[in-house]
Amino acid sequence: MRIAVVGSGYVGLVAGACFADLGHEVILVDNDQRKLAALRAGQTPIHEKFLPELLARQRGQLLTFSDDLQGAVRASEAIFIAVGTPPSESGEADLSYVESVAREISGGINGYKVVVEKSTVPVYTSEWVRKIILRNGADPESFDVASNPEFLREGTAVTDFMYPDRIVIGCDTQRCADVLRQIYKPLTEGTYYTRNDAIPQPDRTTIPAPIIVTSTKSAELIKHASNAFLAMKISFINAVASVCESVGANVSQVCHGVGTDSRIGRRFLNPGIGYGGSCFPKDVMAFRAVARENGYDFRLLDEVMSINEDQRQRFLRKVRSALWTLRGKKLGVLGLAFKGGTDDIRESPALFIAQALLQEGCKIKAYDPAAMERTQEVISSGIKYAESAYEAAAGSDALLILTEWEEFANLDLDRLKSELHYPIVIDGRNLYDPEVMASHGFTYYSVGRAATHPDGVPIGALKNGVDKA
């Protein structure tokens, strides 16, 4: 099929490259000339596994880049809108980018088109997109608006796209559903998975990919409800971790015991410094706002957000309790991205904590495998950057682990200890076993588990996230 994808960010670029790899002819549209030039020059503007390979394979073949939205609409049967939907001051989604794209799409309609919301949008957006396209002169029979929410996770975006838990298509006409079914056929009928050059299948995935067809409004709600539920799961386990700290229980054991219940599941029961990124914070707020607007006061979501805020503050209190005074302390920081596997620092709790510590007068030397360049773009001074985890640790009064990169979970502990000025590790991601850390000579603080000391004696239960000792 001929497809236009508008917006070549984390979602649009991955979706466009994957659609091309499924055999469709794709025009990726963006209004950022620098991004387009980089893409045309063979660069991959985001850090995402398998994306460089897909772009190299399809660039100039089935995948082309353009700033001409109307031209792309004329040439395509389906137009996916994948522009940003950032939060407005009141917490609602700012849909002005979606509106401006819808307005332009109208002028390019020259036959039946399916306009697909790929961006995460509140329920009723499809009705607005339809109204805007009609207001700008399109014939009502010449297009349908569908919702095809995207569930990919940054860091594993290509794999998630090719091996999704489910594909949700929200359509209100059969004609429109047929177009979307056709687009995803290589995944839903499984022909893609028989190819020798298919992206490798990860564990725990079902092939062929299941497809769920719903009304457009239901599909819009599925995305918001999914993200809100996942954020709730994170806040829930963070709240449990706080109780563990108060009573001296071990949250890792609790997670194991709770998560093995198949109704609950082990995934996303990972206590830490809270959720971040460009999706959960804004989507929970937007879902809260759209529910209120439609007469339902979704107070549960207020608590999800509030626990998430607290989690950062609890971690900062933990740093204070481990180091006493902060002014002038040298801290090694591992991780700036909002989670491992990505260079995305939007709403990153790691960055929030690093900035708060800078304001307290700490000196920070940070290392992140992918996010340092982006951090330098937003924080011009204060943070020094290291070439490795060991260099970040060198001479530091303590080491903070703020992002769950795999390489941070596999450090040479003896080397790390010899680099640090004091062997203190404050781990916001629970990457290490407290007893193993103690046996390697570290004073080790983590989330929801008692801090341990090199002599092997737990430092004691933490009261309100603060070490009692």
Chain positions contacting ligand NAD, by CB under 6 A: 6-12, 29-32, 35, 69, 82-85, 97, 100-101, 119-120, 150, 152, 154, 278-279
Contact 366, 333 (CB under 8 A): yes
Judged by beta carbon, residue 106 or residue 396, the one nearer ligand NAD is 106
CB of 152: closest distance to ligand NAD in angstroms? 5
> Rounded to whole angstroms, how far apart are CA atoms 308 and 242?
12
> Rounded to whole angstroms, how far apart are CA atoms 115 and 258?
43
> Rounded to whole angstroms, how far apart are CA atoms 412 and 415?
5
> Rounded to whole angstroms, how far apart are CA atoms 409 and 156?
18
Whether 279 is catalytic: yes
Point out which residues pair with 383 in neighbouring strands. Answer: 364
* Candidates 18, 176, 244, 279; catalytic one: 279
Judged by beta carbon, residue 92 or residue 150, the one nearer ligand NAD is 150
CB of 67: closest distance to ligand NAD in angstroms? 8
Rg (CA), the chain: 24
Identify the three-state secondary structure at position 119: coil
Point out which residues pair with 204 in neighbouring strands. Answer: none
Identify the three-state secondary structure at position 164: coil
C-alpha distances in angstroms, 135 versus 117, 131, 322?
18, 6, 61
Judged by beta carbon, residue 71 or residue 454, the one nearer ligand NAD is 71
CB of 104: closest distance to ligand NAD in angstroms? 7
CB of 376: closest distance to ligand NAD in angstroms? 18
> Rounded to whole angstroms, how far apart are CA atoms 73 and 5?
9
Q: Could you give the residue ranges of the DSSP H alpha helices within 166-250?
A: 174-188, 216-247
Give the nearest residue (CB) to ligand NAD: 9
Contact 29, 104 (CB under 8 A): no
CB of 307: closest distance to ligand NAD in angstroms? 22
CB atoms closer than 10 angstroms to residue 337: 30
Judged by beta carbon, residue 30 or residue 419, the one nearer ligand NAD is 30
Q: Which residue has the tokens 């700036």?
A: 336
Cis peptide before 186 (omega within 30 of 0): no
Judged by beta carbon, residue 10 or residue 432, the one nearer ligand NAD is 10
Amino acid in position 358:
L
Structure tokens at 398: 């303590």
Judged by beta carbon, residue 10 or residue 444, the one nearer ligand NAD is 10
Structure tokens at 117: 């919301």
CB of 160: closest distance to ligand NAD in angstroms? 9
Judged by beta carbon, residue 240 or residue 284, the one nearer ligand NAD is 284
CB of 338: closest distance to ligand NAD in angstroms? 10
Structure tokens at 150: 């995207």
Residues classed as catalytic = 279
